[in-house]
Amino acid sequence: MGTKLKYISTAGIALIVGFMATLGVDVVDEQPIVYDEGYFKGTAGLAGVTVGLNIITDVGTGSANELVVADGAAEQLVGRSMETAIDRETFMFKLDPRNFDIA
């Protein structure tokens, strides 16, 4: 089973809806499953993550599959970190995607 962030696009804005996993032994058999809540293992981006703080994807300095602490102006939250981690370390987080329009 593999997991990756799943995005949808609305009027050019990427909204986080959850994680997508594929189950199956080969490409023909794969069945996609989308999770919109739960606890998962993630990889910290360059800025790292801190226990208890909201997290976002690290599209500024890393890949969309790396996560960092969200600043106060973040509009697409992935969830909340359950551990502290530095760049490229794995950590547990609670998936709780939320999308805000604060502009």
Domain ranges for the chain, please list them.
2-98
Q: Is the pLDDT confidence value at 17 over 80?
A: no
2-98 CATH: 2.40.300
Task: Encode pLDDT of 44-97 as tens digits.
Answer: 999 999 999 999 988 777 766 789 999 988 888 889 999 999 999 999 999 998
Whether the CB-CB separation of 46 and 38 falls below 8 Å is answered with no
DSSP letter, residue 85 = B
User: What confidence score (pLDDT) does residue 9 get?
Assistant: 46
Helix (H, G, I), strand (E, B) or coil at 30: coil
pTM score: 0.75
